[in-house]
Amino acid sequence: MIMKKIDISANISGIQLPLCMMNASGVLCSTDQELSNLLNSSSGGVVTKSCTYKPRKGNVLPRYFEWNIGSINSMGLPNLGINFYLNFLERKNINKPIFLSISGLSSEENYFLIQKANQSSKVTAIELNLSCPNLLEKEDMLGYDFYKISSFIENIFKFNKKPLGIKLPPYFQDAHIKNIAFILNQFPIFFVTCINSLPNGLFIDTNKESVVIRPKKGFGGIGGSIIKPFALANIHKFYTYLRKDISIIGCGGISSGEDIFEHILCGASAVQIGTQFMKEGISVFERLKKELTFVLEKKNYSSINSFKGRLKNFQ
């Protein structure tokens, strides 16, 4: 019996990934060693740590905690600055797409960072992070400000020539997803990544009767398996409302091949792994690759395009 070859590569608006999964920005992608590990792994692409103009130490420790079904963090964008990431890429032989994640602390800083990214031939695409919930300097995420976001993106496309995607926060109302999709549909955006961690969560150590992270009095972004239903809902809604040439990168709650299958069934073209990558390390991509292939074999699908976005309503 000849086994049918299963194709689990991905296409993100023309950007070809050998495997439909990669790391989520923020997790084990900050340093030379971490990025080198990703380049040498079976991950389909590499997403850098969200960078700012100058290096940042981030928030005080402890700022990350995980439990069996989730994680909480208030990292505060620790990163080595955009020059480090661009210089790292210049020194390396690149064998897969590179997504430079950018998260300036102001609109002006974001414009500057995007201009710098445009000068690098090693950057395949820019992932503009409009959804970091853990900064102490600013309380409002641009991803929730529908008035500002439109003119902000319009200004970017006056000079940006690189493929650009937007990392979005979670939305909890259909009207909000419809509104943001309406705005994004007006621009030549390549992809959206959804969702970032759920903001303003709290986890308590009952023995100590205390919060578990120090910044922001214990409040932080929630990730891990516990947020998967919100990720799937956002992906499916955006798949409904976005132009079909805007790809969706699903992120949130992935720890198995079956989880990836669900993200793609809801409309994702590829996925990012965050909390589970933090728990398991670089071997997570090889394990998930095997598990996803097994799911497709069992269901007799030959590629992810065979079922992408084909979630059925209740019969």
Q: What angle do CA 149, 150, 156 make, to 5 degrees?
A: 90
Per the residue annotation, which of 20, 29, 51, 132 is the catalytic one?
132
Q: Which residues contact 1 (CB under 8 A, 6 or more apart)?
A: none
132: annotated active-site residue: yes
Query: Angle 146-156/174-184 helices, nearest 10 degrees?
Result: 20
CA-based torsion, 260, 227, 64, 130: positive or negative? positive
Cβ contacts of residue 177 below 8 Å, gap of 6+?
171, 234, 237, 238, 241
- Cite the active site residues: 132
